[in-house]
Structure 1
Amino acid sequence: MSQTEEVDLLALDRQVCFALAVASRSVIALYRPLLEPMGLTHPQYLVMLALWGESPLSVKQLSNLLQLDPGTLSPLLKRLEAAGYLTRGRDPRDERSLAVELTATGKALRAEALKIPPAIIDRLGLTIGELESLHRNLTRVIAAATS
């Protein structure tokens, strides 16, 4: 492009927000057929990932980890509890706090979930290095957008 050509700053195909929105919808759609046999939606899968990392967690801790407000998180937790994957109860260390803990069924589901990352990596056709770089850049974007 020569210096005399003007760049249309409002061109849809140049918008970072558009690329992120389409990428997000597209990647999350790849998870759907992998999660459906497990009885999970993508937001529920994120909750389970957090709890497979550490359980029990308080609702506040879980909310912070997932960057979701408690009002959005609460229905996810209710559905996961109804499915038998977790329990919610008063934290014995702090009765004011609600603790979320995996059940044996929820813990066992992790073995099935181990198939998901390789399937997504294969479907995206990116190397681990490319995905790690993308993750680092997206994390920088999130930090910049939320600071």
Structure 2
Amino acid sequence: MSEDPRQWPTGRLLFSVARRIEQDWNAHLATWDLNHAGHPALLHLMGGPLTQREIAARNGVTEQTMSRIVARLERSGYVTRDDDPRDRRRRAVTITDLGRRVAMEAAQFQPAEDLTSRGLDEDQVEALRELLVAMVRAQRAEPRTPAEQ
């Protein structure tokens, strides 16, 4: 396979860039003992307590995966788990004041933009954003297969 990225399939290009951004983003989030999986969970909890199942669905991961993510967030003092007042058989996950502060600090716009737009000028960033928004909308419009859910 060619080492010249111009010869790569689009999927390989996207995966290569996304993987590097994920690594850089995880290094950024490590400042707060977070990663690319835990940070979105905290952001979802900003609206109020949720069950692990609800957080998992919003993050597009399994409940088992979310259980590990929530356990890590709990060890860091960012969330608590208590009986769910809506259903005593379930546990509700609630963000703590520390978790709320950390989620907001880590969510600042500019560091993320800097990580994702390295090497691009303003026009290229705008064009990339337009393409990515179009791709996200197209993916949301297509029904997911059972294997993808």
Q: Would you say same fold, with TM above 0.5? A: yes
Cα distance in 1 between the residues matched to 2:127 and 2:89: 43
Structure 1 position 142, deviation (Å): 5.9
Matches within 5 A, 1:78-97: 78-97=71-90
| Partners of 1:135 and 1:87 in 2: CA distance | 34
Query: Are 2:110 and 1:118 equivalent residues in the alignment?
Result: yes
In the alignment, residue 118 of structure 1 is paired with which amino acid?
A: Q
Counterpart AA for 1:138: V
TM-score normalised over the length of structure 1: 0.76
Q: Is the 8 A contact 1:80 1:86 kept in 2?
A: yes
Q: Which runs of 5+ in 2 are unaligned?
A: 1-6
Distance 1:96 1:26, change over 3 A: same
Q: Does residue 39 in structure 1 map to residue 25 in structure 2?
A: no
The residue number in structure 2 matching 1:135 is: 133
User: 2 CA distance for matches of 1:59 and 1:122?
Assistant: 32
4+ aligned runs moved over 4 Å, structure 1:
none
132-141 vs 93-102, which moves further: 132-141
In structure 2, the CA distance between the partners of 1:46 and 1:132, relative to structure 1 (3 Å rule), is farther
State whether residues 57 and 100 of structure 1, in contact with CA within 8 Å, keep that contact through their aligned partners in structure 2: yes
Aligned counterpart, 2:4: none
Partner Cα separation in structure 2 for residue 129 and residue 95 of structure 1: 49
* Number of residue pairs matched by the alignment: 133
Judged with a 3 Å threshold, the aligned counterparts in structure 2 of structure 1 residues 79 and 61 are, in CA distance, closer, same or farther, namely same
Offset at residue 130 of structure 1 (A): 3.7
Which residue matches 2:15?
Answer: 21
1:102 to partner: Cα distance:
0.3
In structure 2, what is the equivalent of residue 76 of structure 1? Answer: 69
Post-superposition offset of 1:143? 5.3
SS of the residue 1:40 aligns to? coil
Deviations 1:70-128 (A, max 9, x none): 0111011001001100011220121122211101111121331243x211213314545
Contact 1:30 1:120 in 2 (8 A): no
Indicate if the aligned counterparts of 2:78 and 2:98 stay in contact, CA closer than 8 A.
yes
AA in 1 matched with 2:129: L
Amino acid at match of 1:120: A
Residues 119 and 43 (structure 1 numbering): CA distance in 2 closer, same or farther, change over 3 Å? same
Structure 1: 5+ residue stretches without partners:
1-11
Q: Who wins on radius of gyration, i.e. which is larger?
A: 1
TM-score w.r.t. length of structure 2: 0.75
SS across alignment from 1:29: helix
